[in-house]
Amino acid sequence: MTTPFAPRQWSSRFAFLMAAIGSAVGLGNIWRFPYLAGENGGGAFIVIYAITTMGIALPILVSEIMLGRMGRQSPINTMRKLIAENRAARFWTLIGWGGTVGAFIVLSYYSVIGGWALKYVELALTGAFAGETNAAAAEQFSAFVTDPYSVALWQTLFLAATIFIVAAGVTSGIERAVVLLMPLLFFLLVGMAIYATTTPGFGEAMIFMFAFEFHEVTPDTILAAIGQGFFSVSVALGAMMTYGAYLDKDVSIGRSAIVIAVADTLVALLAGIAIFPLVFSYGLEPSSGPGLTFITLPIAFGTIGGGVLIGAAFFLLLSVAAITSAISLLEPVVAWVEEGIHIPRKWLALIVGGAAWVAGIGTVLSFNLWADFHPLAGLGLMADKTVFDVLDFTTSNIVMPTVGLLMSLFAGWVLSSSAAEEALGARGKLWFRLWRFALRYVAPLGVMSIFVANVLM
Ligand code: PHE
């Protein structure tokens, strides 16, 4: 088959792994995970997060990469192709549509938060963190996010970088960047975590993070943990399906998925270990929401020697980690339009990215002019949630689990066992049977029971 666009294929297994880990490791690990854990009681959330990520998100990750590699196109067209081959109902194309629309929505708010990270590079470089107290750090954060023009400026820069890379074609641009930058981020984070162990709040933080208090487990906690697992591992938005479509036939999907999920979880835990000791050392609230990372870490950077450079490096790498995730959100949408509209990729990337920019304005305003605007309150829903909260909550706690559920049902029940065995290159392997069991029973029942519990409670 000839395509009107440049071939889309990873140059090696390593390139795929770095791109996929680049997608998984992002704001979800360093910004979202700590504040969600903080809002949901710490240990209870983290333990459930680890269990549900390995038991639910990981099996779905395997099936998502597999479906992508079977279809070799954007998620929407991959699903069209698979339902034709397997004579399944059109209903299942919902997996492609839900993921693609979800990716677009997440990209719209993700680039706003990515812009925060970029802004903090500037703040670090200009020495703005020097000698900062917790009150000053909180004030600095709030002064920034309450200025819509400033937030929009950094959102624009972040999206421009993302568009630029996707426009150049994924294989050429990001492959080399992620190979270099992801390990660097990891080392810096380890360094931050080691520094955190020397602060007085370390003990309290470890108890907060790892003590499992059963009475703190509510359906909400479980739903948030599952949602965070999906978000963090990048499943159910078509990102991994798209990356799987560019993957060589010989690569083991099972092994790759484990590497991706374990690396991702490790980075999230490291982020928690770097952040919570500072929260407790400086008397901050672990439940202080989206500002958590941006308020706690600057205090450390303002105290330690060389904090200007370390702080700038850290926020730069956080921005890079966010950009490598944003790329994987833009790519599924661009790949899809590219298959239908035959104009150069650079224009398509610009158009789709531009639309995400417009869609992101609601999020920009959520922290200032629209801070008291609760869009669904009139319907009696999510009465205390801003536009940003609503987008974030619905994508990670409703769209992603639903698409993930459909994916596990499709790969577990609609595809024949032999087709899946063949696609994974796992004939007669024990892990194949475990995976299939998790996909057919554990993942769907887990997601469904949480939905039911949430409706009932
Ligand atoms: N996994 C990314 C993060 O943790 C976010 C993401 C979700 C990216 C879904 C792509 C698809 O920040």
pLDDT digits (tens, 9 = 90+) for 267-322: 999 999 988 898 888 888 888 788 888 998 898 888 877 789 888 988 988 998 89
Check pLDDT > 90 for residue 143: yes
Backbone angles phi, psi at 26, to 5 degrees: -165, -150
**Mean pLDDT across the stretch 80-101?**
95
Separation of alpha carbons 154 and 115, rounded Å: 4
Considering the chain, what is the average pLDDT of its residues? 90
C-alpha–C-alpha distance, residues 112 and 370, integer Å? 15
Structure tokens at 131: 């000698």
Q: Give the mutation target among 231, 269, 397 for probing the ligand 1 site: most ligand atoms within 8 A of CB.
A: 231
Rounded-to-integer distance, Cα 372 and Cα 403, Å:
31
Predicted local distance difference test score (pLDDT) of residue 39: 83
Measured in angstroms, how far is the CA atom of residue 147 from the centroid of ligand 1? 26
Ordered structural domains, the chain, with CATH = 13-456 (1.10.4160)
Average pLDDT over residues 225-244: 93
Query: Is 108 near ligand 1, meaning CB less than 6 Å away?
Result: no
Report the separation in Å between the CA atom of 24 and the middle of ligand 1, taken as the mean of its atom positions.
Answer: 5
Place 168 in a pLDDT band, splitting at 50, 70 and 90: confident
Residue 417 CA to ligand 1 center (angstroms) comes to 29
Our answer on whether the CB atom of 325 is closer than 6 Å to any ligand 1 atom is yes
- pLDDT of res. 456: 67
Mean pLDDT confidence for 93-102: 97
Ligand 1 pocket check for 29: Cβ under 6 Å: yes
Q: How confident is the model at residue 17 (pLDDT cuts 50, 70, 90)?
A: very high
Report yes or no: 129 and 307 within 8 Å, Cβ to Cβ: yes
Helices (H) and strands (E) in the chain, counts: 22, 0
Check pocket membership of 107 for ligand 1, CB cut-off 6 A: no
Which single residue is written with the structure tokens 């050392």?
281
pLDDT at position 2 over 60: no
The whole-number pLDDT of residue 98 equals 96
User: What average pLDDT score do residues 416-420 get?
Assistant: 94
94-125 helix and 292-303 helix, angle to the nearest 10 degrees: 30
Q: Is the CB of 28 under 6 A from ligand 1?
A: yes
Helices (H), 198-306: 202-210, 219-233, 239-245, 253-281, 292-303
- Measured CA to CA in angstroms, residue 199 lies from 195, 202, 204 at distances of 7, 6, 10
Helix (H, G, I), strand (E, B) or coil at 373: coil
Please give the distance, rounded to the nearest whole angstrom, from the Cα atom of residue 23 to the centre of ligand 1: 6
Q: Whose CA is nearest to atom 10 of ligand 1?
A: 234
Nearest to 83 by CA among 422, 402, 440, 410: 410
pLDDT in tens, 317-363: 899 889 999 999 999 999 999 999 999 999 999 999 999 999 999 99
SS (H, E, C) 329-364: HHHHHHHHHHHHCCCCHHHHHHHHHHHHHHHHHHHH
Mean pLDDT over 364-387 rounds to: 88
Distance 60 CA to ligand 1 centre (A): 15
Q: Which residues contact 257 (CB under 8 A, 6 or more apart)?
A: 58, 61, 62, 65
Q: What separation in Å is there between the alpha carbon of 133 and the centre of ligand 1?
A: 32
